[in-house]
Structure 1
Amino acid sequence: MHIVALGWMFVALLMGLVEATSPDGTLLGAAITLVLYGVLPVGLLLYVMNTPHRRRARRRAEAEAAAARSEAGDGSA
């Protein structure tokens, strides 16, 4: 999945470069192109695709915390 995001960012970077170097283009237009076609979509895609990993990590942390609480409760009683 990361290779797709990397490829898309490369394309968006080239689009911004063309926008900046064209006779009618501006640096502001290039920055807007880079953000709207590159950073925002790729960030959203990576966030959505990483959701199962975050969910597993949260459940693992909760299970470890519950195990630590139960061990602390068993040792002190």
Structure 2
Amino acid sequence: MYLVVIAWLYVAVMMSAAEATADNGSLLGAIVTFFLYGLLPLSLVVYLMLGPRRRRAIREREAAEETQRQQETRGAGSDRPDAGGHAPGAAEPGGVAPVGKEP
């Protein structure tokens, strides 16, 4: 891809130089030639050619974020399954007794 970009810019610079040094050419014409035949189409081509790479990078970033989010939720729940501080199944004062036990 870089070879295409370099070659395209080389041709655009040569066209601009020919326009500037021609008998009936002008510097303004050379600048317009460089922008309209060189930079403008080249920027469009490069943008379109890099589209799949941008989409792949976005997908990879989202997958990495999802993996990290899953690891955080899995890691947070594995060390402390009950964040209440009471033994599992024990009734809290004024709370509901476990099933099958009377208060």
Deviates more, 1:62-71 or 1:16-25: 16-25
Q: Please, what is the CA RMSD of the aligned residues?
A: 1.0
Query: How many residues were matched structurally?
Result: 77
Report runs of 4+ in structure 1 exceeding 6 Å deviation: none
Bigger radius of gyration: 2
Alignment TM-score, normalising by the size of structure 1: 0.92
Correspondence for 2:61: 61
TM (norm. structure 2) is: 0.70
* Structure 2 residues not aligned, in runs of 5+: 78-103
Higher helix share: 1
Q: Which amino acid aligns with 1:75?
A: G
CA displacement 1:19-70 (0-9 Å, x = unmatched): 1111211111111100000001111111111111111101000000101111
What one-letter code is carried by the residue in structure 1 that aligns with 2:50? N
Extract unaligned runs of 5+ from structure 1.
none
Task: Among all aligned residue pairs of Structure 1 and Structure 2, give the percentage whose two residues are the same amino acid.
Answer: 43
Higher relative contact order (CA 8 A, sep 6+): 1
